[in-house]
A and B are shown apart, each in its own frame.
Chain A
Amino acid sequence: MTGTLTTSAVSIDDVSVRFRSKRAEVTAIQQVSLDVAPGEFVSIVGPSGCGKSTLLKLVSGLLTPSSGSVTLLGEQVRGPRHDIGFVFQRAALLEWRSARRNILLQAEMRGMNAAEAGKRADELIEMTGLSGFENALPHELSGGMQQRVALCRALLHRPRVLLMDEPFGALDALTREQMNVELHRVWQETGTTVLLVTHSIAESVYLANRVIVLTRRPAVVHEVIEVDLPGTRDYSATMARPEFASATARIRDLLGAVTGQD
């Protein structure tokens, strides 16, 4: 398979993951297949512990599947990939670096041109509303700001694929909404392919073109919800739309059915 022939940004093909520990063997993911088109925003929801983080680690190459294959940007994933941006639930910032220098870590690790990277960092800082806090240390930033720094760091090298693992899970509801609006705008401006793992049904629908609902472990794709909303989405207007209501209701039903037994 070559880059020019494939149309998917991410292609997960019949992938299973088994973790072997001393006590038992756990199947986290079972025969999951998923294709993500370039520029598409896909949300992944599912019960806790079903294998969502595992899925993102597969795509980034931080984990290799027990069977099946993952293809990223036309190239099979065999080890850690550098052509992605990753945002974790915790911002994972270096305590001794200012916000700006935390963002620039990405450039330093990659050996990017310093002047260009600096310009890009300033752009991102502006875009995510971090202006004025460039020189603040992580412990001087609020949780939402730290997460913005992590987002900027993940976007610095203009990755074509952005992986986000519950990036706003630790934020309060209001900050989370603001971050959703910002992420939506960033996505529209950059045209990046995004895979977002989230526990918030509203967030998953507001941001995505498609929502993948996974079952309990071992995770299989339970259903794929196509989100029938306009490209550019105003937050409150979107919340009020019937398509939004029906999509969230459907996902809630599905998740209820999956987790109901607990």
Chain B
Amino acid sequence: MDKVQADRWRGVVERSWRPAALLAACLAIWHLITATGLVEAYLVPSPAKTFGLLADKWSYLWGHTWVTTYETVLGFVIAGVLGVLVAVAMVYSRTIESTAYPILLFAQVIPKIAIAPLFVVWLGFGLEPKVIVAVLMAFFPVVISTVTGLKSVDTEMLELAATMGGGPVKTFVKIRFPAALPHLFAGLKVAVTLAVTGAVVGEFVGSNEGLGYVILQANGNMDTPMLFAGLIVISVVGVLLFLLLDLAEKLMLPWHASRRGAAVTTLLAKG
């Protein structure tokens, strides 16, 4: 038992030392650039100053972080539910698929930043426009991945199900949907990172709270330490939400995770 535990820790260390080293290197370079005066301090604040500000203004930042996280999660959940429903409808009905696909694609290629002001005009400065932009950003990858997942089911498996006579509902619940889950999770992970962007874009366009607002304010005041602090918090929120989904995937699909290996840490190292 102890050996297993030790092996697990060794595995964690082996997988994470590279990304950790890379992160440390980035911080070191950042520090050197500012310490040597290579770049003016008002353009790029030093890491010490940035993190110091993060600590000082924590309660201020925390409130805005909460707002942005709330918008993101709400948008993500709506996009997830809607996306799965639309994908199921598209997979089971040719008519719906051919009708919905062009509209979906059109909605996807419209730059969200360009239509975001419209939502502010329509819905004001509240929660709604941010959530809508987050939904719009996150919706497409969920639909595409779920459709792919539902269509990836082995035809032989479906033929077998037909000889078992459970009907379409049981076939969906017991075979098709679980088989689509790995694809769905891949889509959800992309979606959650896009939902963060969506919420921040929504805040840029018209808001008096949230991290997007913090960054915009800091920008206006040439307050680069605050700008950097805001950026860091947004990134951390995105990464944490992503890791949460990754954990959910590992818990819900142990059969899949065991064969997928260390994809997350590889991805983080790249990101």
Interface of A with B (CB < 8 Å)? Answer: 57, 60-62, 80-82, 84-86, 88, 90, 92, 94-96, 105-106, 108-111, 137, 139
Contact = CB atoms under 8 A, between A and B. Distances in A.
Contacts, number: 57
B18 interface: no
B10 interface: no
B165 A95 contact: no
19 contacts: A57-B159, A62-B159, A62-B162, A80-B162, A82-B163, A85-B163, A90-B156, A92-B157, A94-B179, A96-B178, A96-B255, A105-B164, A106-B164, A108-B170, A108-B174, A109-B171, A109-B174, A110-B165, A139-B259
B249 to A, nearest CB: 13
Given A96-B178, A108-B174, A88 B163 contact: no
Contacts of A88: 156, 160
B174 A86 contact: no
A139 B260 CA distance: 13
A193 to B, nearest CB: 15
B253 A96 contact: yes
B163 A86 contact: yes
Contacts of B159: 57, 62, 86
Given A137-B255, A139-B255, A139-B259, A80 B160 contact: no
Given A88-B156, A95-B255, A108-B174, A62 B166 contact: no
Nearest to B179: A94
B256 interface: yes
Most buried by A among B170, B255, B256: B255
A80 B165 CA distance: 8
Interface string B166-180: 100011001100110
A109 B161 CA distance: 8
Nearest to B166: A109
B256 A86 contact: no
A108 B173 CA distance: 11
B156 to A, nearest CB: 5
Interface string B103-142: 0000000000000000000000000000000000000000
Given A86-B159, A108-B174, 8 more contacts: A62-B163, A92-B154, A92-B157, A95-B256, A96-B256, A105-B164, A109-B166, A110-B164
A65 B156 CA distance: 19
Q: Which 9 A-B pairs have the closest CB atoms?
A: A109-B166, A82-B165, A109-B164, A80-B162, A96-B255, A92-B156, A92-B157, A88-B156, A86-B163
Most buried by A among B165, B178, B179: B165
Q: For the side of the interface on B, what is the size category? A: 20 to 34
A60 B163 contact: yes
Most buried by A among B161, B163, B171, B178: B163
Contacts of B255: 95-96, 137, 139
A192 to B, nearest CB: 15
B184 to A, nearest CB: 13
A109 B157 CA distance: 13
Given A105-B174, A108-B174, A139-B259, A94 B157 contact: yes
A7 B156 CA distance: 31
Contacts of A84: 163
Contacts of A92: 154, 156-157, 160
B72 to A, nearest CB: 30
A110 B163 CA distance: 10
A109 B154 CA distance: 17
A90 B157 CA distance: 10
Contacts of A95: 179, 255-256
A98 B165 CA distance: 21
A139 B171 CA distance: 22
A81 B163 contact: yes
Contacts of B160: 86, 88, 92
A187 to B, nearest CB: 19
A114 to B, nearest CB: 14
Contacts of B253: 96
A106 B175 CA distance: 12
Contact of A108 (B156, B166, B256, B259): B166
B186 to A, nearest CB: 16
A257 to B, nearest CB: 32
Contacts of B162: 62, 80
A88 B157 CA distance: 9
